Amino acid sequence: MMQQDADRPLLVAEGLSKWYGGRLGCRDVSFAIYPGEVMAVVGESGSGKSTLLQMLSCQLDPSNGRVLYRTRDGATRDLATLGEAERRFLFRTDWGYVHQDPAAGLRMTVSAGANVGERLMAVGWRHYGHIRRTAGDWLGRVEIDDSRIDEAPASYSGGMRQRLQIARNLVTRPRLVFMDEPTGGLDVSVQARLLDLLRGLVAELSLAAIIVTHDLAVARLLSHRTMVMKGGDVIEIGLTDQVLEDPREAYTQLLVSSILPP
Amino acid sequence: MSAVLELHAVSKTFTMHLRGGIRLPIVAGVEFAVAAGECAVLAGPSGAGKSSILKMIFGTYRCDAGSILVRRDGSAIDVASAEPREILRLRRDALGYVSQFLRAVPRVAAIDVVAEPLVIAGIPRAHAHERAAELLTRLNIPERLWPLPPATFSGGEQQRVNIARGFLCDLPILLLDEPTASLDAGNRAVVVDLVTARKRRGTAVVAIVHDEDARASIADTVIDVMRFAAAA
């Protein structure tokens, strides 16, 4: 039963394209994500990777193509056919979305504990003590000291805010998490800590994730597979170590050769 | 004994698009098979393509032609044409690889680096740590280093952490890229013992070993990679 479940794709993109009037967002993107699989989408700004992420997560309607998602009841649904209430339900229960700017994914004026607890309440948790304890556990897992549970994230550093946003997303045990440049605005030392944390959580919870990043180091540390995009087109897709160590396309070779050795 | 790993007519050429599309042939017509409990050592001068062959078997390098068959339970998977998911599954269940250098992750403790493959395979962390501790002890990594990230370790210590990680899971095929290169005689002997024990339990090993004594102790066959030199 479990094995069967792992052998069926969670999300399938079929020929996804987006045109903004005459300007191309991205073109003919197809792939499948399986449970527990992490895929990085890498490319420069303007490559179409954020457009793709928004279409995958129902925030933007594709011009062509479709996204299929397997819900917890085992049915495969075309996201375009879901009603607004069903989409919201998916976002509350099955999905997480980590924004580059934590302020976009957090409520900045309510306490850290409430930021995490809110997601639990949205899936039906009612017992205050349980909610507070679970929120406290999650702050601990993202290395935020328990003593700061009642502070609003407005008083947190950038790295702490990002960790709080991750706790808020993962507390409901989603099956799929979208991440848009999760380490984007952070100092290098803070990035390393966050990456290490994400790496542990993704493996431990066997999360499927689609991570948009311009940073190949993020792709290397977090993802099983990497998709390279440029100017709206998919240039190359494969195992992450294969794409990084044996890049086939000229553009990927350029990207890889531009990384400074660690 | 029947082969668990077979390479047929495997070839590899790098095309350097940033250098005007220069084609760099690495190997062609690679042909060998390894049976359970057997160790094949790839020999040849530096640059002959030994590491590239190991990387093709592990799926890190694509191959341009030929097939790389991993046989298990009566079926065969061709790494050369397998889907990424199948290769990931093979790495979890069948293919172990000790690279030449440890790729350290910032902040992760040596013991966790070693235990990770078992944790990924679903073994409880405590048990994985026990096994990791046994191997680290065997490889003479002092216990005070276990909680530290290996990035600051000496070359030989990093190499031993890498070996411990590679030997942790009991997988049917083990690929070793210069496992004894930066080790002293005592630790080299430990690695030879580990390989020998693994062979006895039926693991098929493909190794690159320059040290002549170590090679003589583990090799059942020596494959001269110059046979597969690609015509430029």
Reference B178, options B51, B78, B29, B18; nearest CA is B51
Chain A contact for B88 (CB, 8 A cutoff): yes
Q: Provide long-range contacts, Cβ within 8 A and 24+ apart, for B13-21.
A: B13/B64, B13/B230, B14/A246, B15/A248, B16/A253, B17/A249, B17/A250, B17/A253, B17/A254, B18/A250, B18/A253, B18/A254, B18/A257
Which residue did the predictor score with more confidence, B158 or A206? Answer: B158
The CA distance from A246 to the nearest CA of chain B, in Å, is: 6
Please tell me the predicted confidence (pLDDT) of residue A6: 75
- A248 CB neighbours in chain B (<8 A) are 15, 62
pLDDT above 50 for A1: no
| A226-250 residues labelled b (16+ CB within 10 A) or e (exposed) | bbbbbebbbbbbbbbbbbbebbbee
**What sign does the CA torsion over A203, A208, A211, A216 have?**
positive
Band (pLDDT 50/70/90 cuts) for residue A21 is: very high
Q: Edge-to-edge strand order for the sheet containing A11-20?
A: A23-33, A11-20, A64-70, A76-78
Q: What is the pLDDT of residues A142-198, one digit of tens each?
A: 999 989 999 999 999 999 999 999 999 999 999 999 999 998 878 877 887 888 888
SS (H, E, C) chain B: CCEEEEEEEEEEEEEEHHHCCEEEEEEEEEEEEEECCCEEEEECCCCCCHHHHHHHHHCCCCCCEEEEEEEECCEEEECCCCCHHHHHHHHHHCEEEECCCCCCCCCCCHHHHHHHHHHHCCCCHHHHHHHHHHHHHHCCCCHHHCCCCHHHCCHHHHHHHHHHHHHHCCCCEEEEECCCCCCCHHHHHHHHHHHHHHHHCCCEEEEECCCHHHHHHHCCEEEEHHHHECCC
Q: Is B151 on the interface with A (CB under 8 A)?
A: no
| Angstrom distance (rounded) from CA B23 to CA B228 | 17
Task: Determine the residue of chain B that is closest to A34 in CA distance.
Answer: B85
Is B95 within 8 Å of B171 (Cβ atoms)? Answer: yes
pLDDT band for A45, please (50, 70, 90 cuts).
Answer: confident
Which chain A residues are closer than 8 Å to B88 by Cβ? 224, 239
On the question of pLDDT at A7 being above 50, the answer is yes
Would you mind telling me the total number of residues written for chain B in this entry? 232
- Judge whether B123 is closer than 8 Å to chain A, CB to CB: no
pLDDT beyond 50 at A74: yes
* Mean pLDDT, residues A114-118: 95
**Tokens encoding A104:** 């976009």
Write the CB contacts of A89 (distance below 8 Å, at least 6 apart in sequence). none
Strands of the sheet containing B75-78, edge to edge, are B22-35, B3-16, B65-72, B75-78
The confidence score (pLDDT) of residue A2 equals 47
Angstroms from A39 CA to nearest CA on chain B = 11
Instruction: Say how far apart CA A209 and CA A97 lie, in whole Å.
Output: 10
| CA distances (Å), origin B28, targets A10, A127, B23 | 39, 66, 13
The tokens of A142 are what? 């993202």
Judge: B18–A249 Cβ closer than 8 Å, yes or no.
no
Q: Which residues of chain B have pLDDT under 70?
A: 1, 104, 231-232
> CA separation (Å) from B194 to A97, A240, B129, B191, B201?
45, 30, 19, 5, 11
> Residue B145's pLDDT is what?
96
Long-range contacts of A230-238 (CB under 8 A, 24+ apart): A230/A43, A230/A44, A230/A47, A231/A24, A231/A46, A231/A47, A231/A48, A232/A24, A232/A25, A232/A26, A232/A27, A232/A47, A232/A48, A232/A51, A233/A26, A233/A27, A233/A28, A233/A48, A234/A28, A234/A29, A235/A43, A237/A31, A238/B62, A238/B84
Closest approach of chain B CAs to the CA of A203, in angstroms?
A: 7
pTM for this prediction: 0.92
Of A203, A225, A257, the CB nearest to B84: A225
